[in-house]
Structure 1
Amino acid sequence: MNAIWKDIDAGKIAPVYLLTGLEQHLLDTTIKRLIKAIDGIEENSVIRFDMTETPIESVIEEADTLPFLEDRKFIIAQNASFLKAPDKKEKIEQNTALLDKWLDHPSPTATVVFLAPYEKLDKRLKITKSMMKKAVVVEANRLEGKDLTTWVQQECSANGVKISGETAQYLVDMAGNDLLMLSAEVSKIAMYMDGQGEVTKDIVELLVPRTPEMDVFRLTEAYMRGDVRRTVSIYHDLLRNGEEPIMLTSLIAGQIRLMIHVTSLTKKGYQQQQIAKTLNVHPYRVKLIMENRQVPPMDRLLLILEKLAAIDYKLKTTGGKRERVLEVFFMEPL
């Protein structure tokens, strides 16, 4: 993808692009780079078609019509669902044979982007094979691991600041792996640093808000270590921040269930990335559990989960000081 972006930034614009995948931020960034790179094109001059409602003939006709008052047209064919498995609910049947033929000689005065924001395309289809071969393909897949931290480093560099791989990982751990959210956090950090210098963990800690899930992980970890004072301190901080005991009980139970699943899958020989994908959770959460020597055995985890279920019922059916119910649980020996 970086090579394609470099070509775009250098003005090497292809006649046809295929943008596919679920990472919307990467799709949007590619389109913004194209708009910036093509002379005379602005956001309001982009021609858009919805391929679930528009026949492919309309896109081809528009592309082959000479542009007016500009050197090149920029056309986006959104929702190119004809590139994935057929759906009986589709409103129109696309003439993919015509498109296949047109791809051999696309318009020299237009750039057409076929946008297919789907997890998978059907590569058995002739038109999909043809598009993958004849168009410039950008696969906007979700970034993980080293690819994600590298992206954070590049994003920081684009904002004038530096960040080490370790600190980039810490930022991901704090903010999550959503690129749009990470991009916003990087922009905020760079603005705070006046666009110069190196990002440190202290700066990330200062500027990036923790999610309730992250604080609940810290709370659960302290509880598992038997550190009652630390556990109760974190709990009171969460209460002061407006978190409700019922919600916290639910989040803690979710963390315990995750521990149970990770423990079970680890015994079956699953690796960190496999577990994260199977459970559909952030790999970092799995990593922390796998590296935590304080995780109790399975029978104790199940007992804790049973106690939390009883606490949840009590919180929902009794009045009074509900904050005290969970606090007593933290004070009980594991």
Structure 2
Amino acid sequence: MISHVHFLCGDETVGRERAKLRLINSVKELHGNITTESFDMETDDFFAFMESVLTPSLFQDTRVFQIHRAQRLSDNEVKSLNHLLDAPPPDTYIIIEIDEEKKGKADYKAVKRFKIEKRCESKESDYVFLEFPKPAEYRIGAWLVEQLPRLFKRSISKADADFLVDLVGNDLNILYSELQKIDTHLSAGEPVDRQIIEKIVGASRQMTAFELATALAQRQFPRVLQIIDSLFSTSAFAPAIVSAIYRHFWAMFRIRCFGSANPQIIKRFENAKGFNNPDQNECGYAIGRAAGLLGNGEQRKVYPVIIASGIVSQARKFTDQELKLIFKWLLEFDYGIKTGKIEGSQQDLQMLCFRITRVTELLRDGIAG
């Protein structure tokens, strides 16, 4: 049995849209031919739409009515809708979408406006309330693990989900688009793993200068060459790439300076483990502010910018002397490009990056230049 009224609430649009499509398909499977009608307040009159819902079908079709952005309905419109929902026509299914962000543990405002709690309190209720809260950036990998069985009837490990997020970013719509590509290359029920992610996503996505800067900070030269190949596969602008590298290494230098003056904060940060650790968040925010990576009031960005990026541990891989030398190389390279002394070719960038990843050895052997 399918309930006749569904409230789909939350600002995570990917899962919400998929749930709506599954619901409509289920109604089609149950009743055969159906008619659908949507209300959009940008173009439609709400009370005319209510009349359509209340008017019986001439052809005895099962009807599905969708109300988008219901959180924007006026009090009079909500009152009219609530009156209809108290006794909806038997040949109708009503889907109410509410674009509302869930804040902390408080209920959605829609719960009170549409009397959702009272409507759904009985097990025999003909009302369903589904929540789709947008996950925090640090939880997107875990969200993929939970949602993939619902979205694609597949599984993915937490490590592979995090790897996909690292490649694609945190935008749920882009992630969903990439998962659709992956889905077409797998047989039914086959899990999404790192191998297929690298094959499908890695092959089609151009890497960024920020990824290059991170790979350099991790001294992963094979990875550096892979990213440079990707950057130059289209049109690469060398000054912009050098600027991204400089900003990343300058932040690392500022972290080292902050750590020298506040070693206890760095120690607390590195010793703090576990999900959403208050010590790690507090210290990470202080480190991010000192490095110029976080602004005032940007505590929510601590996880992606400071914790997940690993920039604090990256800063430990270089000495102050090494970083100052790298700054000198970057400034010389930038000046050379702008004055025409350096072409800024793929080979030029490869040589610069080789020196950055091997700065310790070059200094030790006295050939740093």
Tell me, which stretches of 5 or more residues in structure 1 are unaligned?
A: 1-10, 84-91
1:256 positional shift? 5.1
Instruction: Sort the Cα spacing of 1:289 and 1:176 in 2 relative to 1 into closer, same or farther, 3 A.
Output: closer
> Match for residue 63 of structure 2?
73
Q: Supply the RMSD in Å over aligned alpha carbons.
A: 4.6
Instruction: Sort the Cα spacing of 1:255 and 1:30 in 2 relative to 1 into closer, same or farther, 3 A.
Output: farther
Once the two structures are superposed, residues 186-231 of structure 1 have per-residue CA deviations (whole angstroms, 9 ceiling, x without a partner) of 44434434336554422322222275556743x334422456x547
Instruction: Sort the Cα spacing of 1:316 and 1:110 in 2 relative to 1 into closer, same or farther, 3 A.
Output: farther
1:64 positional shift? 1.3
Instruction: Sort the Cα spacing of 1:153 and 1:40 in 2 relative to 1 into closer, same or farther, 3 A.
Output: closer
Instruction: Sort the Cα spacing of 1:233 and 1:34 in 2 relative to 1 into closer, same or farther, 3 A.
Output: closer
> Match for residue 90 of structure 2?
108
Instruction: Sort the Cα spacing of 1:75 and 1:170 in 2 relative to 1 into closer, same or farther, 3 A.
Output: same
The answer to whether the 8 A contact 2:207-2:230 is kept is no
> Match for residue 12 of structure 2?
23
1:40 positional shift? 3.7
Moved more, 135-144 or 286-295: 286-295
Instruction: Sort the Cα spacing of 1:302 and 1:64 in 2 relative to 1 into closer, same or farther, 3 A.
Output: farther
The answer to whether the 8 A contact 1:63-1:107 is kept is yes
What amino acid does structure 2 have at the position aligned with 1:237? D
Task: Classify the secondary structure of the residue corresponding to 1:271.
Answer: helix
Q: How far apart in 2 are the matches of 1:164 and 1:126?
A: 34
The answer to whether the 8 A contact 1:18-1:116 is kept is yes
User: What percent identity do the matched residue pairs reach?
Assistant: 20
Highest Rg: 1 or 2?
2
1:245 positional shift? 1.6
Task: Classify the secondary structure of the residue corresponding to 2:21.
Answer: helix
Q: How far apart in 2 are the matches of 1:195 and 1:34?
A: 21
1:117 aligns with 2:102: no
> Match for residue 289 of structure 1?
309
1:321 positional shift? 0.7
Moved more, 284-293 or 61-70: 284-293
> Match for residue 5 of structure 1?
none
Q: How far apart in 2 are the matches of 1:41 and 1:308?
A: 69
1:183 positional shift? 4.0
Which one of 121, 128, 134 corresponds to residue 142 of structure 1?
A: 134
Task: Classify the secondary structure of the residue corresponding to 1:95.
Answer: helix
The answer to whether the 8 A contact 1:20-1:117 is kept is yes
1:64 aligns with 2:54: yes
Which one of 222, 225, 232 corresponds to residue 233 of structure 1?
A: 225
The answer to whether the 8 A contact 1:20-1:140 is kept is yes
1:232 positional shift? 6.0
Instruction: Sort the Cα spacing of 1:110 and 1:196 in 2 relative to 1 into closer, same or farther, 3 A.
Output: closer
What amino acid does structure 2 have at the position aligned with 1:294? Q
TM-score (norm 1): 0.68
What amino acid does structure 1 have at the position aligned with 2:95? V
Q: How far apart in 1 are the matches of 2:328 and 2:3?
A: 61
Instruction: Sort the Cα spacing of 1:138 and 1:126 in 2 relative to 1 into closer, same or farther, 3 A.
Output: closer
> Match for residue 366 of structure 2?
none
1:283 positional shift? 5.3
> Match for residue 7 of structure 1?
none
Moved more, 29-38 or 244-253: 244-253
1:71 positional shift? 3.9
> Match for residue 289 of structure 2?
none
Q: How far apart in 2 are the matches of 1:308 and 1:110?
A: 70
Task: Classify the secondary structure of the residue corresponding to 1:173.
Answer: helix
1:303 positional shift? 6.6
What amino acid does structure 2 have at the position aligned with 1:147? W
What amino acid does structure 2 have at the position aligned with 1:146? A
Task: Classify the secondary structure of the residue corresponding to 1:209.
Answer: helix
The answer to whether the 8 A contact 1:173-1:284 is kept is no
Which one of 276, 279, 296 corresponds to residue 269 of structure 1?
A: 279
Q: How far apart in 1 are the matches of 2:325 and 2:76?
A: 56
Tell me, which stretches of 5 or more residues in structure 2 are unaligned?
A: 120-126, 259-264, 270-277, 286-293, 361-369
Once the two structures are superposed, residues 255-290 of structure 1 have per-residue CA deviations (whole angstroms, 9 ceiling, x without a partner) of 557768999898593439x97994776956654434
1:33 aligns with 2:28: no
The answer to whether the 8 A contact 1:220-1:231 is kept is no
Instruction: Sort the Cα spacing of 1:208 and 1:81 in 2 relative to 1 into closer, same or farther, 3 A.
Output: same
Which one of 199, 204, 213 corresponds to residue 206 of structure 1?
A: 199
> Match for residue 113 of structure 2?
128
TM-score (norm 2): 0.62
Equivalent residues, number: 307
1:165 positional shift? 3.8
1:321 aligns with 2:343: yes
1:244 aligns with 2:237: yes
